[in-house]
Each structure stands twice: as structure tokens, then as C-alpha cells.
Structure 1
Amino acid sequence: MSDHHETVRSVLERYGATYAEEARIPLKDKPAPLFQLLVLAMLFAAPIPAATAVAAARELFDAGWRTPQGLLDSTWQQRVDALGRGGYRRYDESTARHLSEMAELLQDRYDGDLRRLRDEAGGDADRIQDLLQEFPRIGATGAAIFCREAQAVWPTLRPFVDDRARAGARAAGLPSARDALARLVPSDDLARLTAALVRLDLDDR
């Protein structure tokens, strides 16, 4: 077990930033940052490098579209241009459309607040993932990405360890079982560890 803790320290030192942190999302249990995390999860849905999805998210947020209404106030062309600046080109036109559809659905169904989705799901991780997949371009992978990062501010999701994080754990020689992995870090650090393991798995590939 001591060897596992040393491995965790090494993994966190090298890969420890969450994707939300990299995208400059000040993640809190508040509507705006949760919306931004949903945007990031959507951008990860396309078969593109993670760095490109993060760069595109930064461009959208730097343009001021950090809330559903803010994004809806933008034009399709403005969103296409921002995605292009982030290098998100092959999927920029369809994604620009899906972003507005996602923001509109979030406004209409949850009054712009993903905490209402969490409450509707009763805090259950499986149900939260099911509801997230009702948004455009958010499939099982996107929903898992959202939950993996959101567990930093939604304790009811913990411990959330998706398939990619488990693959990273195996590559690092760590236990891949959810509860065993969770015991290696304080609960509020699990989002960092799972993100780090995903990065490790991507490097390993």
C-alpha cells in the first residue's frame, strides 16, 4: 500500500491538473462554472486531441460565453470563429450549432442550472449520466468526463472512476477498482487523481 501511495504522489506531481483547471474553469457548485464544464465535456466528444478541446473551450470562455444566456447571445459565426481559433476546425460548424442547442435546453429545462439536473437525479451518478446524455453531443463518454470532473464539487458523485481512469490506474500499477483507488487519496482530491490517470493513459497510448 505504501508503494501505491508513492505512485499516486508521482502521478499527481506529473499529471495532477484537472481538465477544468486547464480550461481555466473556476469550478464551483454554481451554475456558470458547471455550464462551462458541460461545454468542455461536449468539446471532448469529437475525436480530437484533448489539448484542442481545452484550447477551444478557452476561446469560447475568453469571448465571454460563460453562461447559457451569454452563449445564446452569440451568433453561429462568432462561435465557429472562436472554435477555429482554438484549432477545433473539422467539427466547428456542427459544434457551434450544438452549443446553442445545448444552452437552450439547459435554459428551458433546468433554468440554466445543472444543480437542478443533479437534484432531479437524486444525486445518483447513473441517473445524472443518463440526464446529461439528453444534451446534444453528450454521449456516455461525455457524461463520464463531466462526472469525473464534477465530483470535485458534487460529493454525491464520489467515488467516480470511469473506464479511462481505470485504464490509467492499471498502467500505473495501481488498483483499478473504484473503492480501492479512492482510498489512496482524500475524497476531495479524487477528481485530480482520476484526471491525472486519464492523462497518464493517453501518454501511455
Structure 2
Amino acid sequence: MPPTKKQTNGASHEKPAKKKQPTQPKDEPKDTNGKTNGSSRKRKSPPTIATAPSKSRRSSRGGPTTPVDTVKLLNYLLSPSSLSLCRPKDETEDLKTRGANARAYSTSTFTPFEELVCALILSRPIGHMLGLRSIRTIFNEPYEYTTAKKIHEAGYEGVRKALDAARTQHRQKTAEEIVRMATMVVKNPEMDEDNLGMYGLREACNKSVEEERKMLKSNVKGLGKTGLDIFGRRVQGVWEEWYPFIDERTGRAVEELGLPGHAEELRKLVEEKWEELGVGDIEAQNEAEKKRKALVRILERAVGADLEGNVGALKAEAA
């Protein structure tokens, strides 16, 4: 997700400048943690597994991470009980009035096309609460802009009206990008006109994650690395080639909870503890898909708790 007040992708944590030491090289560059490149080299992230966050990273709340009971923590993250700590209070209250069938980013299963809409919205420089409110407003009554065709027919004015109702920011730019993407999908057979699985795009790219990312980035204006990471984090539940994937922002949040922040390590942990985890409410076609969707839920709730400043409270509740 893009940087917000609570959400900082790559925010600097440099210490105050010290007096110049005679042994310090004069112009040695530093990374975002205030370390010289000689001691902390930035690693290149492969398309399906994000760069592993530092193993020695301390909590952004000011202290070292606290050991946790892994099974208890995973089960709490997977349960409905954790939701109140992983999403804005605004969403919790809104869903009470919308009814049981209301669609929300924190609880609903979206089509890949809908995930693209969400990624566009959430990659805008707006707060977590406003992003989720925008998604709820667009996908629920009276708008229900859930397919490319519906968005294309509503046009800029229709989508802008929905964003106005959401009382969000950057409405003009966001509306333009959503409508432009929907129009492109409707007119481009490779993006798949049924708006559901986007099978056309997948076949055109031979289900290569790298090629799919390239095609999406080049065809969807406004969808940069942050948006693609948000999309990838969610779509891996149904697109197995993207699994396992953790973007750097979410990896840091996962580590805050005391879990592995690297995709492959967290996947292995979930596999090892699988028989002890409560995943009965996760709908899937088979066990493999259920495991992927379980990982998605864990990631979404971890990053949600971090964005809401509830990491400590979540760990306490899980214990």
C-alpha cells in the first residue's frame, strides 16, 4: 500500500547526524535504516516472493518483538475475533447498517478484476480507513460497480459520485484511473471480457507471474509497484503461481507479530501447523487453495492490525 500517516513504505528511520569521524568514508551512501551500503545491501525482490525483512528488526512501537505462541496467534488471526483489531472502526460500524450480505475488503472474496479495483484505490495516497470505505461504497448498493462493464457504463461521473459518497480524497484521479482500467478491460480480449477470472490475460502471459505483472503495469495506468504488491498479496489465493507472496510492507507487519516475514518461511510454518489451525470457514475448491487463502487472511489481518496501531493489543488477545 502507499504511504499514509500510519502506513510508511520504506520510511526513513535514520538516527540524528553524528560528528564526523576520521575513519568514516566521506561519501559512503546510506540506506533507509541509516546503515552504510557496505553493511546493509538492498536485495533484489523476485516476482513471487518479496525480499525478506531484516531478522533483527525491532518493533516500530519502540521495543523488540515479543515471543508468541505461534498456534494461538495464527488461530486468532484466522478467526473472526481478530477483525475488530484489524480494520478501522469505521468499517465495523458501517457493516452493521449495511446488512449481512454487504461486501467489505476485510471479509469478502473478490474476483481478480475487483482486486484490481481495490489495488488502484489502496495505492492512492489516502488513509487505510478512507481506502476501505471507498471499496465498500463502490461495491455495495446503490452503486455496485463490481465488473468492468458496469464501471464502463457508469463512466467517470458515476464512479466519481460513488467516491464523493465515500467522502474520500483524490476522487478525480481515482475515478479516472478506475474508469480507464474498466474501459481497457472491456475493449481488450486479453484482459478477459467476463471480468471474473481474467483468464484471457493469464493465457496470454502463459501464467507467468513476471509477464502478468508486466502486462498489468503497462496496461493499467496508475498501477505501480505498490498496487501490484497489494494485488499479488490477495490474488495468490486463487492464482497459485503467485503463491507464496509477501510484499515488504506486509512482511514488516508480520514480523511485528513475531511471525516469519519471508513468504516461504511463513508458508512452511502454516504447513507445519496446519492440522492445529481453525480454517473451517474458508471456502475453497481443494486443500491447496484453502492453504493459500489462509495465508492471505493471515497477511491481511497482520497488516491491518499494524495500520490500525493494534499490534500489541492483538498479541495480547491472541495469548
Give me the TM-score of the superposition, normalised by structure 2. Answer: 0.56
1:111 aligns with: 192
CA distance in 1, matches of 2:292, 2:150: 33
1:96 aligns with: 175
Alignment equivalent of 1:191, drawn from 296, 302, 308:
296
How far did 1:108 drift?
2.4
Quickly say closer, same or farther: Cα 1:86–1:103, change in 2 above 3 A: same
2:9 aligns with: none
Secondary structure of the residue aligned to 2:259 is coil
8 Å contact kept, 2:86–2:305: no
How far did 1:25 drift?
4.7
CA distance in 2, matches of 1:79, 1:146: 21
CA distance in 1, matches of 2:109, 2:292: 19
1:179 aligns with: 264
Q: What runs of 5+ residues in structure 2 fail to find an aligned partner?
A: 1-66, 88-102, 271-290, 311-319
Structure 1 vs Structure 2 CA RMSD: 2.6
8 Å contact kept, 1:44–1:142: yes
Alignment of 1:123-142 (within 5 A): 123-134=207-218, 135-142=220-227
1:22 equivalenced with 2:108 (yes/no): no
8 Å contact kept, 1:151–1:160: yes
How far did 1:188 drift?
3.3
Alignment of 1:69-80 (within 5 A): 69-80=149-160
Q: CA offsets per residue over residues 155-185 of structure 1, 9 Å max, x none?
A: 2211111112210121011111211101232
Larger Rg over CA atoms: 2
Q: Please tell me the residue identity of whatever aligns with 2:192.
A: D
Question: What number of residue pairs does the alignment pair up?
Answer: 198
Give the % identical residues.
23
2:135 aligns with: 57
1:3 aligns with: 69
2:254 aligns with: 169
CA distance in 2, matches of 1:93, 1:177: 37
CA distance in 1, matches of 2:187, 2:139: 22
CA distance in 1, matches of 2:179, 2:78: 35
Alignment equivalent of 1:81, drawn from 140, 158, 161:
161
CA distance in 2, matches of 1:183, 1:69: 40
Quickly say closer, same or farther: Cα 1:11–1:127, change in 2 above 3 A: same
Quickly say closer, same or farther: Cα 1:70–1:53, change in 2 above 3 A: same
Secondary structure of the residue aligned to 1:65 is coil
